[in-house]
Amino acid sequence: MSIQLCSHSKPTNSEVYDQIRNLGCVPPSADNDGRYKNMAAFVDRYSISLSLRPVDFTNDYLFVPDNHHYVDVLQPRVNNKQDREEQIDTILEDLKSTGKLKKLPWVMETPEGLLATISGYGRRAALKKAEMTEHVIVVDCTLREAHELAQLSNPRTAEDVWPVTEHDIIASYRQTALFFLEDKEWTASFTKEQEKELSSYLKEKISNHHIQFRSNHTRLGNIVNKIIENFRLNKQYLRPVALSEKSDERDKLIDAQYKEYFPKNSWDTSKPYSNVFQFFSSAETFANTKQSLDTVYEDQKNNDLYNGKKELHIVQWIKSKQGNVLKSTVDKKVESLLKDYRSLNINARRVNDYNIRPAKRLFIPSTFADYPSRCFEWDMQINDFVEKFKNQA
């Protein structure tokens, strides 16, 4: 069904809601879900304009990449895709039976002209799987206003199939605290009085959004304390990219980062290469990685790798199940991986008894916002990895 625009170029929000009804969808202002009514009330209260836009959800380039700053600000969950396949499949079943979403995703446009999701990550994933073009609600607002809308979209309800967790709240409201500190022009080393003011502000924001904390002051206090601890101890916390290492998008993210070091090379584990074997690991322990790698060598179809006719290139994906993680912890993990792979490459039994060639390339993609990817190549003369830098000839 086509949308009938009014004679003037920019419709009012009420007219946009009528357009949504004409599409066969539920306008936020009339949604039985109180979260969307609160979002509609927020945009009306602050005179924020809405519009509709059809989007081809198979085109990832219309959206900001997963490691974009806007995702860090707007993502209200620690990981919006991992372990959500059941929910996404449920949305897909509804799409098959009705051919239409009842609730449209909310997005904002970045200065680069890309779309950043405010609400509806699961619906966006389902629409992509269904290879559909669907309308989205485009919000003409500031990043801070979009952050508030994202918060309003995620309080727990009785219908939730994937309730928000305390880890999600800690990760998300850390950004709320950052905005507060920017407004106050406070440094991370704030005073006790400033800390008390920040604590009160966060308690009010969280309890307004999440009613389960209004009567549980101890639990709310513990959550706020964990948020403030990030600043109190002047520790730098990193947030995982909103992408599972098991998703279809994994190699796309790796390939984009990989090309910053090797513009003429691609990373695609589904494609056989004549002179390279690409090995991916996201194992939590190096012992598990080594076991998987040994299984690859033992497979007769990989004789070219075993005989040294193919180079071994490795991508090591670092993940965190607990959400935000200290930068120092990730730094230590990188150094530990380097040490482990170095030891594996020079292991006397592997080299002398089995004649296994050393891994030639080790690539550690950026799996945390604001944390760089790292790339290392093996130097046979010094028997060690040497770091390669972006755009290095």
Domain spans in the chain, listed from the N-terminal domain onward: 1-162, 165-235, 250-388
The closest alpha carbon to 329, from 230, 237, 244, 228, belongs to 237
pLDDT at 187: 64
Q: What pLDDT does residue 378 have?
A: 96
Separation between Cα atoms, residue 246 and residue 250, nearest integer Å:
7
User: Cα(283)–Cα(29) distance, rounded to whole angstroms?
Assistant: 45
pLDDT digits (tens, 9 = 90+) for 259-309: 999 999 999 988 889 999 999 999 989 999 999 999 999 999 999 999 889
Q: What residue spans of the chain are helical by DSSP H?
A: 13-22, 34-45, 69-74, 85-98, 121-129, 143-152, 166-184, 192-209, 217-232, 250-258, 286-298, 303-306, 327-345, 348
Digit-coded pLDDT (tens) for 143-196? 999 999 999 998 877 555 566 788 888 888 988 998 898 888 876 567 889 889
Which pTM value belongs to this model?
A: 0.61
Across 22-48, average pLDDT: 94
Instruction: For the chain, give the number of residues.
Output: 393
Tell me the DSSP string of 306-348.
HTTSSEEEEEE----TTS-EEHHHHHHHHHHHHHHHHHHHT-H
pLDDT of 1 > 50? The answer is no
Q: Are 70 and 239 in contact (CB under 8 A)?
A: no
Give residue-wise pLDDT tens across range 202-221.
Answer: 999 999 998 888 888 888 99
Weakest mean pLDDT among 97-101, 162-166, 316-320? 162-166
